[in-house]
Chains A and B, each alone.
Chain A
Amino acid sequence: MTSVATHFPFIKLVVCAFCILLCAGCTVRRVVINDLVTLEQVSFIHVGQTTILELADHIGAPDEVTESEFGVVALYNWSDIKSSGLDFGAVARLFLPYAPTMSLNKTGITPEQFQVVFDPQWTVRAYGFSRRTTDDPVIWFWPF
Chain B
Amino acid sequence: MIFRRFLLLVFLAIMIQGCVVTRGTIGEPLQEEAVSGIKKGSTTMAEVVSSIGAPDRIIRGNDLDIFHYYYYDGKSPALLLILVNFIRMDIKSDNLYVFFNKSGIAEEVVYGKRTGRTQFRLWPFGD
Which chain A residues have a beta carbon within 8 Å of chain B's beta carbons? Answer: 20, 23-35, 52-53, 56, 60-67, 71-72, 82, 90-91, 93-94, 118, 120, 122, 138
Instruction: Assess the B68–A65 pair: CB atoms within 8 A.
Output: yes
Q: Interface stretch among B1-9, B45-53, B59-67?
A: B59-67
Docked-complex contact A30 and B88, CB < 8 angstroms = yes
Interface of A is mostly: mixed
Q: Which of B66, B89, B124 contacts A28 (CB 8 A)?
A: B124
From A24, A26, A31, give the contact of B89 (CB < 8 A).
A31
Given contacts A30-B87, A62-B95, A63-B95, contact A72 B61 (CB under 8 A): yes
Contact A61:B96 (CB < 8 A) given known A29-B124, A31-B91, A67-B59: yes
Chain B's closest residue to A77 (CB) is: B93
> Which residues does chain B contribute within 8 Å of A23, judged by CB atoms?
83-84
B62: chain A residues at CB < 8 Å are: 67, 71-72, 118, 120, 122
In the bound assembly, the distance between CA atoms of A34 and B90 in angstroms comes to: 8
* Given A20-B83, A120-B62, residue A29 in contact with residue B88 (CB < 8 A): yes
A65 touches B91 (CB 8 A): no
Q: Do A26 and B83 touch (CB < 8 A)?
A: yes
Least Cβ–Cβ distance between A98 and chain B, in angstroms: 15
Residues A138 and B97 in contact, CB atoms below 8 Å apart: no
In whole Å, how far is B72's beta carbon from the nearest beta carbon of chain A? 9
Report B-chain residues with C-beta under 8 Å of the C-beta of A65: 59, 61, 66, 68, 97
- Supposing A35-B92, A61-B95, A67-B61 touch, asked if A27 and B111 sit within 8 A by C-beta, the answer is no
